[in-house]
């Protein structure tokens, strides 16, 4: 059984909305490998994720990463706190990607990301909000 992915709280919704764009080529390739290659691949709902409070598997090649922190650490900490509270995520909690999507569907209503993701530079593009609407529309 492979090691679980390590995710900081706000990356659950980032993964839901990912559309192949990122901070650098290396970052985008890494996120694509995680999101498209694992979570959205066949069997992806069974992938286990462990909640962490610092740089995670998505952050690895990010140009803003500084060790276990980020050049935007204050903003990232606020996003992580808001997302952990909204999703009921606890440090070191383990859940599958399928369970995470079910939790997002149950706890994050469409139209709420402008507030929940306030301060995220990607929020104005609407990718995550569109993905959230699709998640709520897909009851399968």
Q: What is the mean pLDDT of residues 99-117?
A: 96
Give pLDDT, residue 72. 86
Q: What is the mean pLDDT of residues 118-124?
A: 91
The SS3 assignment for 95 reads strand
Q: pLDDT tens, 60-107?
A: 898 888 888 888 888 899 999 999 999 999 999 999 999 999 999 999
The answer, yes or no, to whether residue 140 has pLDDT greater than 90, is no
Q: Length of the chain, please?
A: 140
Residue 140 lies in a domain: no
Residue 45 lies in a domain: yes
Which residue range forms the structural domain that includes residue 120?
A: 5-135
Number of domains observed in the structure of the chain: 1
Phi, psi torsion values for 130, nearest 5 degrees: -65, -40
- Confidence band, pLDDT 50/70/90 cuts, at residue 1: low
Question: What is the rounded CA–CA span in Å between residue 106 and residue 19?
Answer: 23
Type and span of the H or E element at 48: strand 48-51
Residue written as tokens 């985008």?
28
Type and span of the H or E element at 14: helix 11-17
């Amino acid at each position: 059984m492979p090691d679980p992915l390590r995710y900081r709280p706000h990356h659950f919704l980032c993964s839901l909305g990912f559309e192949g764009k990122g901070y650098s080529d290396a970052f985008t390739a890494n996120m694509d490998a995680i999101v498209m290659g694992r979570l959205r691949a066949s069997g992806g709902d069974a992938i286990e994720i462990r909640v962490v409070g610092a740089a995670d598997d998505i952050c690895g090649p990010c140009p803003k990463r500084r060790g276990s922190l980020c050049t935007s650490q204050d903003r990232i900490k606020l996003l992580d706190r808001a997302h952990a509270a909204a999703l009921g995520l606890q440090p070191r909690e383990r859940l599958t990607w399928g369970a995470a999507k079910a939790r997002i569907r149950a706890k994050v209503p469409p139209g709420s990301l402008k507030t929940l993701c306030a301060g995220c530079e990607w929020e104005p593009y609407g990718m995550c909000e569109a993905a959230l609407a699709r998640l709520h529309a897909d009851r399968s």
